[in-house]
Every structure is written in structure tokens, then in C-alpha cells.
Homo-oligomer: A and B are copies of this chain.
Amino acid sequence: MKIAVDAMGGDHAPKEIVLGVEQARDLYSDIEFTLYGDQAQINPLLTNQDRITVVHTSEMIEMGEEPVRAIRSKKDSSIVRAATAVKEKEADAFFSAGNTGAVMAAGLFIVGRIKGIDRPGLTSILPAAHPDTDKQNFVYLDTGANAESKEKNLVQYAYLGKFYAQKVLGIENPSIALLNNGEEEDKGDRLHKAVWQSLNSADDLNFIGNVEAGSLLMGKADVVVTDGWTGNAALKATEGTAKTMLALIKDSILKGGLRAKLGYLILKPVFSIVGKNMSTSTYGGAVLLGLKAPVVKTHGSSKADAIKNTIGQIKTMIESQVVNQTVDYFNNQEVLEKMDKTDKID
């Protein structure tokens, strides 16, 4: 298999990208990589070019740029070139740690949607951190690809999430929940009430009802479906609260004198478990599901180790043929008609 890598995206590019790719190359003997970026910077970083091809690109999309304009104007950027390689079947997946919007736009406009999917959903694997659950993690989408969603978008997310949980997490019959403002059937605005009905009436979804943002980390379902607006707010609030709490603990320890520092030293293993369990980025990158090939974005701050792990995740996606399963499911007149009928509300 072949992975097209944007070598210039991320806070530590190209160094940590190249390091991570080499680690993954040494770990997985069946992956070939094409690195897109500035050859003058990339080549000196490479230990050896075994199964790694470097393709020079002359432009770079910066973190602050307007995504759609950037991918339209910067044809020789690493993002556009890597995405184009996937489109032209020169690579099986596209991977970047760069400008999220630009990666998503390149996925949408260059790699392209699966027929029958109206809008791809940005998907993360989040930790089921609460000690009372047996689950390790769960699939969460849309984390913010679309600020305004329709009913059929969320119904499609349920299938995208189901196939992803099956193929990537290995869960045979994933339970699916809808993020809503209450657990009962009649909760939510018009959109979420309608989505509840659609998910509940689908024979091929193991729908278990609503889940509230307050119990997101309790691992009540294998897949949590949400519109990108709410999904983004709940995920950011979760991440922000975890960070604030850790900062508060650190600050209180610093101000607590010798006693607190001693306590911290003793409890260090505990904090390490907590930090790891609460980390929303332990399991690889965010995947734009619903595209014709895996398009995966890791956090801009990712170091080599995270890059290597995300490549492992991409390998699983390619091997499991999760994209083909999705294509097959939606390449069906009955399914397409069902989706169209789903749009009862605007």
C-alpha cells in the first residue's frame, strides 16, 4: 500500500513528519510513502530512502489561510499534490498534520465524496475515560466539518461511524447513540428529534438512543453521532475542561509548598494514568469519513511518535477496506432513496 504524506504541515514539520514516517516504514514492511514538500529541507532529514519517495513542491499552505481559496490557488502545495496523488490512484491514503480546513477541503474537492454521501464527517476516536465503563474508546462524528447539518447528514454519519467502528476498532455490532440534550426520545430541537426517529427505525443500525454531552466520556455507545456544530462544542468543552483541571492541579501543587510537591511525586503514576486516559488524541488522527480514500489529519503539534501511530491507523483503514464497504453500502438504489426520504425537515 502507498500513503501520500504532506511533509510540510504541522508545527514541527518537516522534521517530526520525516522521523515518524521513517519509524513507520521500519515497523510496517508493506507500506510505501511519498513525501510531498520542500526537497531541500526533507532530504537531509532522511536516514535512508528505502520505500520513501520525495516529491518536491514549491508552495505551502499556512495554518491561518482560508482553506478553499488556498487549495484552489496553491496547486503546487504539499497538501494539493498529496491529495491529487490519491485522486489519481497513485496512493491509497492522504495524511497531513497541516491546516485542518485545507486538508478537509482537499479531501472534499480533490479526493472526492463517495456517491450517496452528501457531506463527509470529521471523525475522532475518543477515550471512554470514566472508570465505570468497560470500553476503551468510541467513535465520534462529526467533530466540526459542517457547522450546519441536515437530517440525512446525521443518518449518513451513523453508517460511516458504524463501518469505522467495525473495521478499525473491530466491534462486530457497534452500538450507536445520538448526542442530544436529554436521554428521552422526545428531547432536542426539530433536527435531533427527526434524526432520533430515523436512526431508531433503521433495521441495520444498533441504535441505543440519546446520550448527553455530560456522559460523553462514560462510554455508553461505540459510536456517538452528532451534528458538527454541537459535536465541535462538546468536544472542545471536554478538551478545555481536562486542560483547565490539569492546569489547576499543577498550579495548586506549585503553590502548595513542599508538602504538595511530595504528594505530587508520590501520585505521579496516578496523574500519568489520568492524563493518558483523558487525552482526546491518544488514538491517532481525525479522519474525514465519506471520501473515496482515507484522508487523515493529526494534530499540528504531533511529534514523530504520534505520526507513526497515525500511520498505523491508516494502515488498518486501508487493509480493512472500510472505504469499499461504505461505497458498496451507498451504491444501492434503495439506500439512496431512503436517504432522500429522510430529509423531512430543512
Contacts and interface: CB of A to CB of B under 8 A. Distances in A.
Interface stretch (A15-23, A35-43, A87-95, A235-243): A235-243
A130 to B, nearest CB: 5
Nearest to A187: B147
A190 B253 CA distance: 44
Contacts of A181: 144, 147, 229, 232-233, 236
A229 to B, nearest CB: 6
Interface in A21-80: none
Interface string A228-254: 011011111111111111011111110
Contacts of A208: none
A217 interface: yes
A204 interface: no
A308 B269 CA distance: 40
A239 B234 CA distance: 11
Contacts of A170: none
Contacts of A234: 213, 233-234, 236-237
Interface string A119-136: 000000000011110000
A187 to B, nearest CB: 8
B130 A247 contact: yes
Nearest to A239: B214
Contact of A263 (B218, B230, B270, B278): B270
Contacts of A229: 181, 189, 230
B269 A266 contact: no
A240 B274 CA distance: 15
Copy count, this protein chain: 2
Contacts of A213: 232-234, 236-237, 240
A52 B213 CA distance: 40
B236 A238 contact: no
Interface residues of A, number: 57
Contacts of A328: none
Contacts of A235: 237
Contacts of A274: 245, 248-249, 252
A233 B237 contact: yes
A253 B270 contact: yes
A273 B130 CA distance: 22
Most central of A229, A241, A267, A270 by chain B CB within 10 Å: A241
B241 A217 contact: yes
Contact of A130 (B147, B215, B244, B264): B244
B233 A249 contact: no
Interface in A185-240: 188-190, 212-218, 229-230, 232-240
A343 to B, nearest CB: 18
25 contacts: A131-B251, A132-B247, A147-B181, A147-B188, A181-B232, A213-B232, A213-B237, A216-B241, A218-B244, A234-B237, A238-B241, A241-B241, A241-B245, A241-B278, A245-B245, A245-B278, A248-B273, A248-B277, A252-B274, A253-B270, A256-B267, A259-B266, A260-B266, A260-B267, A263-B264
Interface of A: 129-132, 144, 147-148, 179, 181, 188-190, 212-218, 229-230, 232-245, 247-253, 256, 259-260, 262-267, 269-270, 273-274, 277-278
